[in-house]
Amino acid sequence: MTEIIVALDVPSARDALALLDRLPEARWVKVGSILFTREGPALIEVLRRRGLEVFLDLKWHDIPNTVAGSVAVARSLGVAMATVHTLGGAAMMQAAQEAAGNEVALVGVTVLTSHDDASLAAALGRPAAVAADEVARLAGGAREAGLAGVVCSPHEVSRVREVLAAGSRVVVPGIRAAAAPPDDQRRTASAGDAVSAGATHLVVGRPILAAQDPGAAFRQLLREAEAPVG
């Protein structure tokens, strides 16, 4: 079954724990840069004591030594999964993977879901850039570096599964109901569509956080995630 990762995109640890009190079925949580900057490693310890698997999404992109050091700290905290940027290059990803060992599943961020083809082309300075092609290229680099998988939008799941080794993780943000606004994300899809394409983990924030009943929204996502991964 595809895992649902609750994105704790809230202002404080108190808010995060209050949300989790309403989601007793949650197994995975994402801690991103805003919450981690405010609360630090102490929050990771609290979440681990609750029996939760922590996805530390800090998207490291720096020189190899610095990223490897950051991964080593995450490993010492008991983080289950973490992100590096594939654009950091092979040496950076390899150093990060060596620091992770078998304890932290490192996944490589490919192209942010806030990009469409036009904004990606502008960022790269390549007028013909296509997000799906860039995602596939970067996923290949992640595989060569030995990472556990990649992060991509729902639109590229099938494409990256053709590139990655069997058993790799395909972590997918940008999950929205069919009629819901995409907010600041461009490449979105429903949970059911992402699962059918082969996502192994769905990162879901606003569809849960903005729901009148977060528990009901989460349980609906769990039902959609019961479809087998292709």
Spatial neighbors of 180 by CB under 8 A, at least 6 apart, are 207
pLDDT band at 10 (very low <50, low <70, confident <90, very high): very high
The residue-averaged pLDDT of 23-51 equals 97
pTM of the model: 0.91
- Whether the Cβ atoms of residue 186 and residue 155 lie closer than 8 Å to each other: no
pLDDT of residue 168: 97
Give the residue numbers annotated as catalytic, written as ranges.
59
pLDDT of residue 121: 85
pLDDT of residue 229: 47
pLDDT band at 188 (very low <50, low <70, confident <90, very high): low
pLDDT of residue 117: 77
pLDDT of residue 226: 79
Give me the residue spans of the domains in the chain.
3-224
- Whether the Cβ atoms of residue 150 and residue 98 lie closer than 8 Å to each other: no
Superfamily the domain 3-224 falls into: Aldolase class I (3.20.20.70)
pLDDT at 179 over 50: no
Distance between CA atoms of 52 and 80, rounded to whole angstroms? 9
pLDDT at 100 over 80: yes
Q: Give Rg (Cα) of the chain.
A: 17
Least confident range of 69-78, 98-107, 188-197? 188-197
Distance between CA atoms of 63 and 45, rounded to whole angstroms? 27
pLDDT at 15 over 70: yes
Q: What is the dihedral of CA 189, 190, 196, 202, to 10 degrees?
A: 90
pLDDT at 178 over 80: no
Please count the CA atoms within 13 angstroms of the CA of 124 that sit on its side-chain side: 17
pLDDT of residue 74: 98
